[in-house]
Amino acid sequence: MKKLLFLIITLILVPVVSAQIEVRDTVIKNNIIPDEGAEYTLFVSNKGDVPDVFGISISDVNWRDKIDDDFIEIGSGETAKTKVELTPNKGLRAGRYSINLRVYSRTNPKIFADHMLIVDITPYQDLVSAILEVNPNGLEPRKENLIRVNLKNMHNIELKNVNVNLNSALFEKTRTINLDPSELRGEEFKIELDEDTEKGDYELNLVVSYNENVLVDKTERFSVGFYKEINNDEVVNEGFLTDRRKIVKSNSGNVDSKESYKERFTPFESFFTSVYPEPSSIYKQNGLVYYQWDFTLEPGESYKIEVITNYRTPLSILIVLIVVGWLAYFTLWSGVSIKKKVLTVKSGKEIDMKIMIVIRNEGKGRISNINVFDYLPEGANLPEEYGTVKPLRHKKTSRGIALVWRLNEMVGGEERVLSYRVNVKADKSSVLVPRAILKCRRRGRTTSSRSTPLRVRA
């Protein structure tokens, strides 16, 4: 009996997660870097029968919270929203965190609902990747050199005021840039060395920082060589859907020079690009295609590179294929032939003619609404004898008497013959038998065909 009483008291005292509260959130930003806040819009629905005041609390000691409305008065069946910001305490390690948020009734603390908010903290060292591009032949005194830094934002986080610093015993360059989420960006630094800079190997340190936090810290070696002068000349010709560039590198110095030239393309551009001569190497890096030419220029020697991006030829081929397909389509599917044959029996000045009209569907498709018009020779009487198919009617026109047949349809490869006998009075040495005309419809289009006119000697 005592055990049963103890169980009842325990159940009464334990708080109950109530179905009277429903909590959901919309993420504004939950992929953050250290010292940055995650933001959410929190929606709280009162499923109870009476209005109530609800409190919101975060109990995780590793996080600082900022809630626009700590206490929300919500009517029965209504929903209210508030903004919640969570900032990690200093020193909290990077990773994924689940923070418990509790919404509870101010009038009855036993009525509450717990809701998990997910936050991803990205460490500074994983934010940005950087690649240094330095002329493999080294930097040259008395000449402007270029050092390129290729930066990539590795996450969907906007980075403003990123500091890029190049430092060596010979020079120091600093630049501040912005990196959009997942952006790939190249920064070129112009480097000029003193004319008396000694030949040799030097260290180049690259430091990329954000909010006084180091993102990249790497050191590479570069060389300073003999004096040489390489002239670069580039001619660009742009046309309709074409881009032609001619790059000429000339050695105006007094020593042999090993040169390297790179072109970058997107995968789509590279598919329509041709280059002359062939590059020494082709490789992919950070989603781009690189063409690289490596060559040696003797004093007074030049090296020419031609890069042609042509979208017009593929477009022309596509148009030709469409036209050929269109012609093939109508050749195979809409060919209808009509031929006229005449058998004659001469009797004095009159000619007894048997005229046959041969119709053939040369294509594979079905034709319908077939109308055949045949004009009688001059001086002919109306026919009194027809083949198996008689004309629908005859009519007088400016070209003479016309016989009109109408056929419903013909399947592909089908042939039909229309025939009749006619008596013609021959006033001349020959009689002209006019051509027959056929009109029909196939797939909603009207097509026509004509026979060759014939001449019969009297």
Radius of gyration of the chain (CA): 45
Torsional sign, CA 288, 294, 297, 301: negative
CA 292, CA 261: separation in Å to the nearest integer? Answer: 6
Evaluate whether 247 touches 236 at the Cβ level (below 8 Å). no
Mean pLDDT for 201-223 is 91
Burial track 195-219 (b if 16+ CB lie within 10 A, e otherwise):
eebeeeebebebbbbbeeeebbeee
Beta bridge partners of 407: 370
3-state secondary structure (DSSP) of residue 279: coil
Domain ranges within the chain, ordered by starting residue: 15-121, 125-224, 230-310, 334-457
Q: Does domain 334-457 have CATH number 3.10.310.70?
A: no
Across 10-14, 351-355, 356-360, which has the greatest mean pLDDT? 356-360
pTM, rounded to two decimals: 0.41
Q: What is the pLDDT of residues 189-208, one digit of tens each?
A: 999 888 777 778 899 999 99
What are the distances in angstroms from CA 188 to CA 144, 222, 371? Answer: 12, 16, 76
* Residue 195 DSSP symbol: T
Q: Could you count the other beta carbons within 10 Å of the beta carbon of residue 361?
A: 24
Q: What is the pLDDT of residues 416-431, one digit of tens each?
A: 999 999 888 877 777 8
Class of the domain covering 230-310: mainly beta
Class of the domain covering 15-121: mainly beta
CA 300, CA 230: separation in Å to the nearest integer? Answer: 10
Q: What is the pLDDT of residues 401-415, one digit of tens each?
A: 889 999 988 888 889
Q: What is the pLDDT of residues 431-442, one digit of tens each?
A: 888 999 999 987
Check residue 14 and give its pLDDT: 36
- Confidence band (pLDDT; 50, 70, 90) for 318? confident
Q: What is the pLDDT of residues 269-317, one digit of tens each?
A: 888 888 888 889 999 888 888 999 998 888 778 899 998 888 777 777 7
For residue 33, pLDDT over 90 is answered with no
For residue 54, pLDDT over 90 is answered with yes
Check residue 310 and give its pLDDT: 82
Helix (H) or strand (E) run with residue 321 in it = helix 312-333
**CATH of 125-224 among 2.60.40.10, 2.40.128.520, 2.60.120.380, 3.40.190.80:** 2.60.40.10
Beta bridge partners of 265: 289
Lowest-pLDDT range of 97-101, 169-173, 323-327: 323-327
